[in-house]
Amino acid sequence: MKRKALKNLYTWKNQLKRKPLLLMGARQVGKTFLLKQFGDEEYTNTIYLNFEDNPRLCKLFDESLDPKIILKSLRIEMNSEIIEGKTLLIFDEIQECPNALNSLKYFYENAPKQHIVAAGSLLGVKLAHVKGFPVGKVQFLTLYPLSFLEFLEALKETRIKNFIEELKNIEPLPLNLHEKLLTYFKEYLFIGGMPEAIVEYIDSQNFSKVREIQNNILKAYSLDFAKHAPKEHIMKINQVWTSIPNQLAKENKKFIYSAIRTGARAKDFEVALQWLVEAGLINKTSLISTPKIPLLAYANLNVFKIYLVDVGLLGAMINLSAKTLIHENELFQEFRGSLAENYIAQELVHSHYSLFYWTSEGKAELDFIIEQDGLIYPIEVKSGNSTKKKSLKVYNDTYHPKLSIRSSPRNLKKDGNILNCPLYLIEKLQSLL
């Protein structure tokens, strides 16, 4: 399974001043597979250590953090040669071994030619609560669920994927291609971007088996809450997590604490919410008061919406029927269009946009506001084929943006200062702009 992040790893390998790499991301997004694939393709041999599956390995870092001593111990423990530039060291679930995490600093300072990558499902949680970790001594990379284009690559629709990647002109795609992409997009909304779910679909073409995989991933997340979260917050994390579909089902999708529990307030659940953010399981989009640069300066961080890391998992949480795949409008309209919005949120995050949204005192709401190259672009997500654009009109009449974006199942087209970007093309938005 080819991932875009491989290019980042190739770049990292060829850097003259290379730092140890920390690969972050939610559990089951494919971090281990990616690093092993990278090792197989680019190195003579790979030494793989998993500190969660084999806690005994952590003892190798108890005696000293000196890379020379650690490498000597690893050669004996793994019964393998370790050669600078030819051996890739992978420290997986490194958050389970604090000394191994701290040793990265010394690898950077005293063994810079040793190629070492580390990964962890809960690294974000760990690093947020470690004092004195030498951030400047490591390089960070985040892996997300497969994007729609990566999904096409996995389905071996390489020609279609390449066509999209090379797309430059804003003009309608050929109708047969547009309809084919919509079909694949509907499948993606159900399957999502979790590698195991996609592999199952490729192997069996069975949506029931895909749903079984998704439910197992959701169970694994719940077990993570119980195993790794602070005991006093486990129940609250579960409550926040299970409330997300209900939050998104509301007409106003703003996150409401009282929707979790009657009378609940922010202070009751803010730690639980932050834990889910740090674990990479949710994406937050904050309300802005006015669209000015930088958007963060005008954001109300206490008013926000929450989307899941993966749209397929959201569908599993609401038990979305595979039958809706047959009827396009049913799928896009299902769940108040929240599936489409969740998809847009995760694709924007993949493209390194910060997430914000805008409202106008109940008159209008724009799902996303993004900032690029010193300009601000409003995005309205339309889950159906309607061309009504009340919210965009209110925003345009108020702020007169250079370009507004409507993302819907409709074909690529520019209509005045409104760009209709098909939902399946949102990954190309950065270059289209």
Task: For residue range 312-330, list pLDDT tens digits in order.
Answer: 999 999 998 887 765 655 5
pLDDT value at residue 36: 97
Amino acid at 56: R
Query: Number of folded domains in the chain?
Result: 2
pLDDT digits (tens, 9 = 90+) for 168-214: 899 999 999 999 999 999 999 999 999 999 999 999 999 999 999 99
Same domain flag for 346 and 407: yes
Same domain flag for 188 and 60: no
Same domain flag for 214 and 342: yes
pLDDT value at residue 333: 58
Same domain flag for 241 and 176: yes
Q: What is the CATH number of the domain that holds 32?
A: 3.40.50.300
Which among 204, 193, 207, 213 has a CA at the least distance from the CA of 152?
193
Q: Which residue has the higher pLDDT, 397 or 346?
A: 346
Same domain flag for 394 and 309: yes
Contacts (Cβ under 8 Å, ≥6 apart) of 343: 148, 188, 189, 311, 423, 426
Least confident of 194-198, 227-231, 292-296, 423-427: 227-231
Phi, psi of 304 (to 5 degrees): -155, 165
Same domain flag for 231 and 109: no
pLDDT digits (tens, 9 = 90+) for 152-171: 999 999 999 999 999 989 99
Average of per-residue pLDDT across 114-135: 82
Same domain flag for 59 and 175: no
Distance, CA of 24 to CA of 120 (rounded, Å): 6
Q: Which residue pairs from 218-224 have beta carbons closer than 8 angstroms and sit at least 24 positions apart in sequence?
A: 218/313, 218/316, 218/317, 220/27, 220/28, 221/27, 221/281, 224/27, 224/121, 224/122, 224/279
In this structure, are residues 234 and 242 in contact, taking their beta carbons and an 8 Å threshold? no
Same domain flag for 375 and 230: yes
Structural domain containing residue 71 = 5-142
- Give 24's DSSP letter: E
Q: Which of 95, 123, 142 is the last residue of a domain?
A: 142
| Alpha helix ranges (H) inside 259-310 | 266-278
pLDDT value at residue 133: 72
pLDDT value at residue 174: 96
pLDDT digits (tens, 9 = 90+) for 384-429: 666 566 888 899 989 999 999 999 999 999 999 999 999 999 999 9
Same domain flag for 43 and 93: yes
Cut 0.75: pTM above it? yes
Q: Which of 142, 164, 199 is the last residue of a domain?
A: 142
Residue 360 predicted with pLDDT over 60? yes
In this structure, are residues 22 and 140 in contact, taking their beta carbons and an 8 Å threshold? yes
Residue 134 predicted with pLDDT over 90? no
Residue 138 predicted with pLDDT over 70? yes
Same domain flag for 91 and 239: no
pLDDT value at residue 122: 85
Q: Give the mean pLDDT of the chain.
A: 92
pLDDT digits (tens, 9 = 90+) for 49-93: 999 999 999 999 998 999 999 999 999 999 999 999 999 999 999
Same domain flag for 125 and 160: no
| Alpha helix ranges (H) inside 111-233 | 123-128, 148-154, 158-165, 175-191, 195-204, 207-228
* pLDDT category of residue 349 using cuts at 50, 70 and 90: very high
Which among 324, 320, 341 has a CA at the least distance from the CA of 250?
341
Q: Which of 100, 121, 142 is the last residue of a domain?
A: 142
Same domain flag for 224 and 130: no
Distance, CA of 350 to CA of 365 (rounded, Å): 23
Average of per-residue pLDDT across 91-119: 94
Residue 131 predicted with pLDDT over 90? no
